[in-house]
Amino acid sequence: MRQVSLSLSFSLPGIVLCVYIVGLNTDVIEVDAAQYASISMEMLQNKSFLQITERGINYLDKPPFLFWINALSFQLFGFNNFAYKLPTLLFSILGLVYTFKLGRDLYSPEVGRNAAIVLATSLGFVWTNNDVKTDALVMSAIVMSVYFLIQYLDRKSFKHLILASVMLSIGMMTKGPMGFIFPCTIVGTHLIVKRKWEQLFYPTHLLVPIVLLICLLPMCYGLYHQFDLQPEKIVNGKVGVSGLRFFFWEQSFGRITGENVWENNTTYLYLFHALFLLFLPYSFIMIYTYLNRAKKIYKDRVVREAITFLGPLIVLLALSFSSYKIPHYALVVFPFVAIACGYELSKLEMSRPKWMKYHNLFLLILSLLLGVISLLIFEFSMLFLTILLFLSGIAFSFFKNENTSHQLFTIAILLAFIFNAQIVPNLLTYSEGRQFAALIQEKGIDESPIYFFNRDSRAIEFYLKKRISVVDIPTIQQKERNNENAWYFMSNDGKEAMERSNLMIESQHFILMKGLNRIDFKFLNPQTRAESLDTLFLVNFANEN
């Protein structure tokens, strides 16, 4: 049994990496990931690395780190899905390494290994490396910042303080001031709980703002020159916009004060619900872990460490006050939750309660059911079925050696494989970006002028490797009078509006699509799927006048 456990421990990273490699070539997902891919493409094409634009318009929202590393990857590997997702995956692997190291130093090597596997195979972590935004980057930067800060405080090592400062700056250049505040909150809470007050006031901490200033200088220079020196620019519908103030205040804190216009009326418990769903298949273990932790703290009146308990809780509570919340915000606490669960799993492995085996069996049956259903509702794949059966056999085999942690890990890998190799690729066959880009190239009209009317797509721009302008009806009428022979991308409503404007269709092509945020049971049923799809058109017109 010991040999089997060791064998699995060494083979798990390779199996997990294969699951992620499968997802590297799936299409970029509308809206955010496709937008960030196209901004990174535009940055490289324009050689404008400090002043960011989108379709030639000044862009002021996300900090530039994601765009910088993607532009570098595009330079090396070209404009493709692999090049867009690779930098984030590499950074995520670093996050896994330092999750292991932090878990090892706080508890033991076994806890560190458990934590890294839990994090790597949680559904949210798999998803954020497929639908690539800024979250995997900031999550990894935060856990590395915390690790280096703890190392510095324990060893009084300037090297670790400098590395922590660099990671804090990367977090800020990825997600704004929260990339600095969250790791400092987690470490500060830990020091307060451990009553190491004096460590909060070391004079060497003054080195941090110096390193931050050096690292943030290129970004601040670009923001100042693009916005602060040109207050007459219209940015997001406003004039007199300060890029520096937006970055250091409005983009993050403005969501609490109301200065930031983004708002979606979510409840204060929204991110806790999101954490439960995104942490599958470890969600029930997470609840069990934190209930046990709270019970022990109440009983013993002692907190061993706050890094994996109070720190993440405070961060989630702070995020809950934001006026705009989406599920992946919860990902910033994943490494610390994974360490807590890794510790609990090591204890469960020693006691091996009966409920754990039933818990794992229930999850395995659900995962297999999901795999079978995905084969029925999407195009059948013999390769997927073969690998599904192989992984299922491995999962079932671990029920014989009674190692409940390894049972759970193999189930998580199975679920991640189903998600990355079957569900997401099949859903994306109905995305508009790749379909239209393929259609345009197939019809030989990729060199013709192409415009968006009442529907646009960053993914189309990314796959065609060029920016596409948005036009209105008068502009289209003028282009037709000038015999431009252009093609226009639009919905059915747009096509009808064109016809009412005396623009008669000469040629048209269409696709059937479905957005990932609008998946419903009607779509999932192959018999009714066609009824749930939207029709989008690519047309050109012959003006009768």
Q: Are 535 and 492 in contact (CB under 8 A)?
A: yes
Of 199, 234, 263, the domain-final residue:
263
- Residue 374: inside a domain: no
* β partners of residue 534: 513
The pLDDT of residue 278 = 93
**CA–CA dist 132, 39 (Å, integer):** 13
203 token code pair: 């004079």
64/427 Cα distance (integer angstroms): 30
Q: Which residue has the tokens 């419903």?
A: 520
Is 426 among the domain residues?
A: no
The helix (H) or strand (E) run that includes residue 432 is: helix 432-442
Q: 185 is in which domain, residue-wise? A: 31-263
Q: Residues in the chain with pLDDT < 70?
A: 1-12, 253-265, 395, 397-402, 542-545
Q: What pLDDT score does 544 carry? A: 52
pLDDT for res 83: 94
Residue 365 in any domain: the answer is no
> Is residue 222 included in any domain, yes or no?
yes
> Is 87 within 8 Å of 159 (Cβ atoms)?
no
pLDDT of residue 422: 86
In 3D space, the residue among 536, 541, 539 whose CA is nearest the CA of residue 433 turns out to be 536
**Nearest residue to 305 (alpha-carbon basis) of 95, 97, 94, 111:** 111
**Is 387 within the bounds of a domain?**
no
3-state secondary structure of 486: coil
How many separate domains does the chain show? 2
Position 280 in a domain: no
Coil vs helix vs strand at 257: helix
Strands 450-452 and 487-491: parallel
Tokens standing for residue 14: 């390779």
Residues 6+ apart with CB under 8 A from 21: none
Q: Which of 203, 234, 263 is the last residue in one of the domains?
A: 263
Last residue of a domain, one of 247, 263, 279: 263
Of 327, 334, 313, nearest to 271 by C-alpha is 327
Residue 397 lies in a domain: no
- Distance of alpha carbon 134 from alpha carbon 338, whole angstroms: 20
Round to whole Å and give the CA distance between 321 and 47.
Answer: 38
Would 479 be classed as within a structural domain?
yes
Entry pTM:
0.90
Cα gap 418→420, rounded to integer Å: 6
Quote the tokens at residue 214. Answer: 């050096």
- H helix or E strand, kind and range, residue 151: helix 135-155
